[in-house]
Structure 1
Amino acid sequence: MSKKGRRPDFDTYYRDLFKSRWEGLKQAMEADSSHAELSRGLLKPYYLDAASLFPVRALDVEGGVNILDLCSAPGGKALAIAGSMGPEAQLTVNDRSSQRRSRLRRVLEEHLETGILSRITVTAHDAARWGLYEQNLYDRVLADVPCSSERHLVQDPGHLKNWSPARTRHLAVQAYAILAAGFTALKAGGILVYSTCALSPGENDDVIAKLLKRQASECRLLQPDGTIGEATEYGRIILPDNANGMGPIYYAAVTKARAF
């Protein structure tokens, strides 16, 4: 760590987390990510980080009728959900930002046929307040929350200069609010997947741990299958230095049981 009383810089902060692995991990993030072609159910292919598909797989989309994507823009995961959902399923995609929502609409309209689009609703709500208005309604909820996105930071010095541990802590608080709202909106027996593209356990496992503690009577952890990436205490993380350039992506899955 840096001298007592001084804020650690970016490299010091993550070197403390990843030890000798950090330099190799940072170098892997500075390179281009490994992209996958998403084409199932689409009019034309969409390209995204290959690791982004794993949270959608953990969601078990085929088993859901009423599906919610809380932080949907730019739309890659929404396309993956739409391409896998059953013929009776309805998908709600949400983003509070008008600019990001416009991009989301464009992505959906360019890649999905009219029949699927007719079963998708685009909304503009504050994801952290969703549970105040809809409770116990959705079979599947994806909470792919805003996060530190360290790969973006190391590739953009302009954004990196604004990084601080305080921002990571703020994002973790916001992430928990969104996760808790999504859990409130989830039906008993439904599946909620929480995901980030962050490295910090404070934005990943620690957020899930808080939900498991505060919703102990109802929240049950699911262990997502996967041979790609590394197991964490509550989920999995895919890191580019150990996954052919994919990631970072963290994801964890929970279900809602009836309260005792």
Structure 2
Amino acid sequence: MTKGPEGFEQFYSEMYGERWPRLKEALLAPKKHVAVANPFSKFKFSEAPLHVTGVSFEHDVRESFPQPEKTEEGYMNYYLMDAASILPVEALDLQPGEKMVDLCAAPGGKSFLCALKLKNQGLLVSNDRSAARRARIHRIFDDYLPKSEQKNHTVTGHDATKWSLYQKSIYDKVLLDAPCSSERHVLEDSKELAIWAPGRTKAIAISQFAMLASALDIVKVGGTIVYSTCALSQLENDDIIRKLYQKRPGRFELIRKEFSFGEPTEFGWQVLPDNTGWGPFYLAVVKRTK
């Protein structure tokens, strides 16, 4: 198959059919943001916040926001993210006191939201193999949370594909927001687009499945895994769950989640910007049964 811009166009137009032109246009449009208010900064939105239904965090939606800054309490006032990126945290249904691991946690926004859900009870492990990215997680937590609210938080640098060699059946919840093709970024970067090849998404999918298989071993029986990506490629989304059915039959069941924006897929939920203005984002929820 052709590489570069032509190959990219061919690959995704075959995958999305008639929808691709408007989806591509939406991917190239300016991104929208949600500002999730930080309760420890005592920050209040100056205007009445606009809300995305189904997101439990106090938040505002605007075309653009100023960069976050510290209030007199010494903590950042809000965290900026795509509304779709909040959904995996919502899908975890975290309860105070539970033990969870965020397997690919950097830059740290989802871990921050998980910390708010856990209320400094239980255990929150934020993992990333890169030392530089782990430093960013530490920085996010120090910028947004008092030290007294970080007592249940640990940052680790394990290989997520091999975690199950060292721990098994430990966690109530696992968030696997897997490194992915990030096609929106590729489209915006001419150098990345010039070297794109279909082998990229195939190689990434192999690593993603290894991480998900490991996650299935480290979550407790009865525990929940949320698998998510910001990929458009189905090889990295539904196909990963399909492979889990093939390789780990009888060990899990699918938990269907629906949200106020986005659309169902064969195994999960997808948010695409042509219909919602948010995303792209995909998630699927599995519960370990044995």
Give the TM interval when normalised to the shorter protein. Answer: over 0.9
- Letter of the 1:126 partner, please give it: D
Give me the TM-score of the superposition, normalised by structure 1.
Answer: 0.93
- Say yes or no: does 1:253 pair with 2:285: yes
1:115 CA displacement: 2.1
Identify which range, 113-122 or 164-173, moves more after superposition.
Answer: 113-122
CA distance in 2 between counterparts of 1:33 and 1:190 reads 34
1:42-57 aligned within 5 A? 42-43=40-41, 44-57=77-90
1:162 CA displacement: 2.2
CA distance in 1 between counterparts of 2:172 and 2:38 reads 22
Check whether the contact 1:212–1:220 (CA below 8 A) recurs between aligned residues: no
Give me the TM-score of the superposition, normalised by structure 2.
Answer: 0.84
CA distance in 2 between counterparts of 1:109 and 1:240 reads 32
CA distance in 2 between counterparts of 1:40 and 1:190 reads 28
Q: Which ranges in structure 1 are unaligned for 5 or more consecutive residues?
A: none
- Say yes or no: does 1:209 pair with 2:242: yes
Check whether the contact 2:99–2:124 (CA below 8 A) recurs between aligned residues: yes
Check whether the contact 1:68–1:138 (CA below 8 A) recurs between aligned residues: yes
Q: Which residue number in structure 2 is paired with residue 197 of structure 1?
A: 230
CA distance in 1 between counterparts of 2:98 and 2:224 reads 12
1:227 CA displacement: 2.7
1:88 CA displacement: 2.1
- For residue 251 of structure 2, the aligned residue among 204, 218, 224 is 218
Q: Which residue number in structure 2 is paired with residue 20 of structure 1?
A: 18
Q: Which residue number in structure 2 is paired with residue 58 of structure 1?
A: 91
Check whether the contact 1:40–1:84 (CA below 8 A) recurs between aligned residues: no
* 1:45-90 CA-partner distances (Å, limit 9, x unpaired): 1101111001111011126610100000011111111111144221
| Structure 1 residues 11 and 204: CA distance shift in structure 2, 3 A | same
Q: Which residue number in structure 2 is paired with residue 107 of structure 1?
A: 140
- Letter of the 1:29 partner, please give it: L
Check whether the contact 2:96–2:120 (CA below 8 A) recurs between aligned residues: no
Indicate the SS of the match to 1:33: coil
Percent identity between the two aligned chains? 41
1:172 CA displacement: 0.4
Indicate the SS of the match to 2:155: strand
| Structure 1 residues 42 and 141: CA distance shift in structure 2, 3 A | farther
- For residue 167 of structure 1, the aligned residue among 173, 191, 200 is 200
- For residue 190 of structure 2, the aligned residue among 139, 145, 157 is 157
| Structure 1 residues 169 and 56: CA distance shift in structure 2, 3 A | same
CA distance in 1 between counterparts of 2:242 and 2:96 reads 26
- Letter of the 2:122 partner, please give it: A
Moved over 6 A (4+): none
CA distance in 2 between counterparts of 1:90 and 1:179 reads 20
